[in-house]
Structure 1
Amino acid sequence: MDDFLFSDEPADVVEPEKVGAWKVIIVDDEPEVHAVTKLALSDFEFQNKRLEFISAYSGEEAKKVVDSHPDAAVVLLDVVMESDDAGLQVAKYIREVAKNNHIRIILRTGQPGQAPERQVIVNYDINDYKSKTELTAQKLFTVVMSSLRSYRDILAIDQSRQGLEKIIKASRDIFATHSIESFIEGVLQQLTSLLGTVDQAMYATSLAAGKEAGQSNDQLVVFAGRGEFESSEGKPIAEVLSSDQMDACLKALQEKDIVYKDNYLFAYCSSDYNHASMLFVSGIPEFLTETQRHLIDIFAQNMQLAYENVQLQAEIEDTQQELVIRLSEALELHSTNTGNHVKRVAYLCHALAKEIGLSDKEAELVKMASPLHDVGKVGIPDAILNKPSKLTDEEWKVMQTHTEKGFELLKDSRREIVSAGALIARDHHEKWDGSGYPKGKKGDEIHLYGRIVALADVYDALRHKRCYKEAWSKEDAQREITAQRGKHFDPTLVDVFNRCINELESILQRFPD
């Protein structure tokens, strides 16, 4: 009988170190049960992790513990405590209220008649049912080990699901400028779930640094990571890897292959272009199957392909943006010779759009479309456009038509940037109080893009020298913009302008005339 778990003389238990441990919740109203359970499992180890015990002595206390430790792996749950079905109510609470479907519930009872096994198994979502009299130390070890394996597999499946969701979501717009971040994050998560015990991963590429690949490690920059590498984005890998890891990385880079060492690996990601990328994964199992090794190889190549596709899309968008800016600058140079005005306005618009709450996509759209605001001036005679003296009333009426000419020129495009440019060209000279042109629109009748460009355009003009005036100081320009709150400009936008004035000033300094 010495092998029975519930002996008469429970011993004091020294808790294992609670670092990287599996959490086990013990729920029982008898303190000696807690002590003996801890003693029986004191040397338990699974995948190099010990057990961390958390005790609860009633059903109500157990509910609080479950809420406080949603990452617990196993709960050893007594049935009869403050009431005959207290444990069953805890089991119901875990699944239906706490919505915790991961934790493995092992029901233990000293009074099987109070909760018949068949009835309990059918009516409650538990994973095992044991009578205390049959639970020897060996049987307890076995049931906890099998429960932890199930818990591990459930977590792997859930991580796999989450990874697949991110990959599917990113795949819908894989060529969008910002989708690569979520795509790589999802791929990393998927890979780590497939390998089972991975705890850290990192993807580094020379593309992130804008350099071509060679054998020099300082050209590889961390692009995405999990674990301790999450905060390493943008850093050269030499700054985040140990010397041994760096040696393995260089070997993988030189051999253009996958290098396995200790509990980590480096996978070289091949490329059709002269770029290098590296996938690092640590905490891998001691023995990898051929299937797992094959998956690693596929993931490494697909990640590089996806990254390069998005880089190509980004290059196309950057080229498109530069083309729009250069054409607009050519028009500005022809008419007013205002240097980097178009480029500054684009970046000012982006900052204002972000600060007022537009999404990254919309802010980028305003930035890319804003250079088209004066495109209608191509239809204005040079004699009026370049007249050094004040325009006559008739000439001013002709000048004002550039807004509608720009709108008519751009409005029928199916391209998002050009369509946004049409709205901006039409509305950027309207004023909040209705005194602008061409339609005398008021308030929200003016498209938000037009309101943003109007403020950015005026602010930049005030801050720079023109043939008819000197450059205004930051304080004078800010005072004038604020004075036009609710008159020329959207009041909310003026408030946003004042909040981010320092950021706007830094943009002006980046692109001087």
Structure 2
Amino acid sequence: MANQRLKDIIKLSSEINTVQDLDILLERILHETRRIANADAGTIYIRNQDYLVFTHAQNDTLSSRLPEGKKLIYSTFQLPITEKSLAGYSAMTGETIVEDNVYAIEGKPYTFGKSYDEKAGYRTRSMMTIPMKNERNDILGVMQIINARDCGGLIVPFDDDDMLYVNHFAGMASMIIQKAQMTRALLLRMIQMSEMRDPRETGAHVNRVASYSVEIYELWAKHKGLPDREIQVNRDILRMAAMLHDIGKVAISDLILKKPARFSREEFEIIKSHTWQGAKIFMESQSAFDEAARDVAVSHHENWDGTGYPGHIDIVTGEILHKDSEGNPLPLKGEEIPLFGRITAIADVYDALSSKRVYKESWNEEDVYNEIRCLSGKKFDPDLVDVFFECLDVIKSIREKYPETEE
């Protein structure tokens, strides 16, 4: 039994090693860690200097109270790394902490705050707090799993076997997290190059657009009855691809991108080229991510009714492949537009309208929603607009998770 459990953990580590996006990875790690110990709930904090930033939470009991298709909404916050909290103490000492009843902690420097339980109508009892470390024993973050359950679903303490196997899995998962953090950092560096050209392309903006896109895709895919495995793989790929939707702007001159006045017709044609210029970056490799990144870059300005751009063009040269009667590229429309491009289009416009920039104020929330409704069937896929509004509560919480550092 013990050997089989260990084999399952090793196999699981191999599976999560294929996940590339950091947020999707953390979500999967928390889910699988809970499964190893049959825990009802859990949270993950990622270290940022002297703080732990709350990034992910899962709770089976609270989720079961929601309407079908809805997700729990959590506010983002951070904890100082001190001995006053369980997570902070674990990060300070590098120790795994197991408490059978967090409401009855005595003789310890840390305490458990009941405020979330009281607000959510939940009762936290048993808790395991696990530090996540790299090979140099630096703390990457802290994971907490909450309320171990026996075979009958009753809440019980975590036992020694739970601690052994969870720590083993957390050690392997930490190495994978470090790799995903490096991938995320590389993507953000690419985006910073674009931001130098276009101040609209901030790290917060692309993280929001990517996160919105994943939520829209996931709910759409569930409505379509797609297999869970396919959904998970595509969420990972789409999140990274959507972050790079405007990467082609690195090929556009500053004189045009930063022009304070309206673009001339010739300048706008150059601006439009950022779509295929971005797609061209991903032409050499044939991985699923490269294909998705190409699709998003080249098609996120296509419109459902065929009035968008760039239409039927050669990604490598920008030459027109199919012309209309006036010599313009034949447009893409409807489901000719790749799904990931259609999704990212909604996410990008929503974030652009909702965000304050140096050249404009943010739109009123209801005005943003009305504009998206008006563009349904014109600029946007109407089915995806419906899905967007279905997951609006999660989308609003994403805006809070990735605020602009400077307004």
Quickly name the TM-score band, shorter chain normalised: 0.5 to 0.7
Task: Encode CA deviations 1:199-236: one digit per residue, 9 max, x unaligned.
Answer: x99999999978999998824999xxxxxxxxxxxx98
Equivalent in the alignment of 1:218: 86
Classify 1:300/1:474 alpha carbon distance in 2 versus 1 (closer, same or farther; 3 Å).
closer
The Cα of 1:348 is off from its aligned counterpart by 2.2
TM-score, normalising length: structure 2: 0.59
The Cα of 1:412 is off from its aligned counterpart by 2.1
Equivalent in the alignment of 1:253: none
**Are 2:296 and 1:424 equivalent residues in the alignment?**
yes
1:406–1:422 CA contact under 8 A, matched in 2: yes
The Cα of 1:399 is off from its aligned counterpart by 1.6
Equivalent in the alignment of 2:208: 344
CA distance in 2: counterparts of 1:205 and 1:343, whole angstroms: 18
Q: What are the within-5 Å matches in structure 2 for residues 131-170 of structure 1?
A: 166-167=8-9, 170=12
CA distance in 2: counterparts of 1:466 and 1:184, whole angstroms: 41
Task: Kindly tell me the number of residue pairs found equivalent between the two proteins.
Answer: 305
**Are 2:347 and 1:479 equivalent residues in the alignment?**
no
Secondary structure class of the residue paired with 2:281: helix
Extract unaligned runs of 5+ from structure 2. Answer: 20-24, 54-78, 91-96, 109-127, 151-159, 223-230, 312-330
CA distance in 1: counterparts of 2:205 and 2:35, whole angstroms: 41
Classify 1:185/1:395 alpha carbon distance in 2 versus 1 (closer, same or farther; 3 Å).
closer
Alignment-mate amino acid for residue 389 of structure 1: A
CA distance in 2: counterparts of 1:497 and 1:281, whole angstroms: 35
1:380–1:399 CA contact under 8 A, matched in 2: yes
Classify 1:236/1:455 alpha carbon distance in 2 versus 1 (closer, same or farther; 3 Å).
farther
Equivalent in the alignment of 2:60: none
| Structure showing greater Rg | 1
The Cα of 1:344 is off from its aligned counterpart by 2.5
2:13–2:172 CA contact under 8 A, matched in 1: no
Classify 1:215/1:201 alpha carbon distance in 2 versus 1 (closer, same or farther; 3 Å).
farther
Aligned partner of 1:452 among 343, 355, 360: 343
Equivalent in the alignment of 2:157: none
1:173–1:179 CA contact under 8 A, matched in 2: no
TM-score, normalising length: structure 1: 0.48
**Are 2:237 and 1:369 equivalent residues in the alignment?**
no
The Cα of 1:351 is off from its aligned counterpart by 2.8
Cα RMSD, aligned residues only: 4.8
Extract unaligned runs of 5+ from structure 1. Answer: 1-156, 190-199, 223-234, 248-265, 284-295
The Cα of 1:366 is off from its aligned counterpart by 2.0
Q: What are the within-5 Å matches in structure 2 for residues 231-310 of structure 1?
A: 237=99, 239-240=101-102, 273=137, 303-310=166-173
1:188–1:201 CA contact under 8 A, matched in 2: no
Higher relative contact order (CA 8 A, sep 6+): 2
2:30–2:42 CA contact under 8 A, matched in 1: no
Alignment-mate amino acid for residue 182 of structure 2: T
**Are 2:198 and 1:356 equivalent residues in the alignment?**
no
Question: Percent identity of the aligned residues?
Answer: 29
Alignment-mate amino acid for residue 12 of structure 2: A
Classify 1:394/1:218 alpha carbon distance in 2 versus 1 (closer, same or farther; 3 Å).
closer
The Cα of 1:494 is off from its aligned counterpart by 0.6
CA distance in 2: counterparts of 1:204 and 1:302, whole angstroms: 18
Aligned partner of 1:313 among 161, 166, 176: 176
Task: Encode CA deviations 1:418-460: one digit per residue, 9 max, x unaligned.
Answer: 4422221011011111111111211222111111111111111
CA distance in 2: counterparts of 1:337 and 1:270, whole angstroms: 34
Classify 1:185/1:166 alpha carbon distance in 2 versus 1 (closer, same or farther; 3 Å).
farther
Aligned partner of 1:413 among 268, 285, 288: 285
Alignment-mate amino acid for residue 181 of structure 2: D
2:276–2:298 CA contact under 8 A, matched in 1: yes
The Cα of 1:500 is off from its aligned counterpart by 2.7
Aligned partner of 2:197 among 334, 339, 353: 334
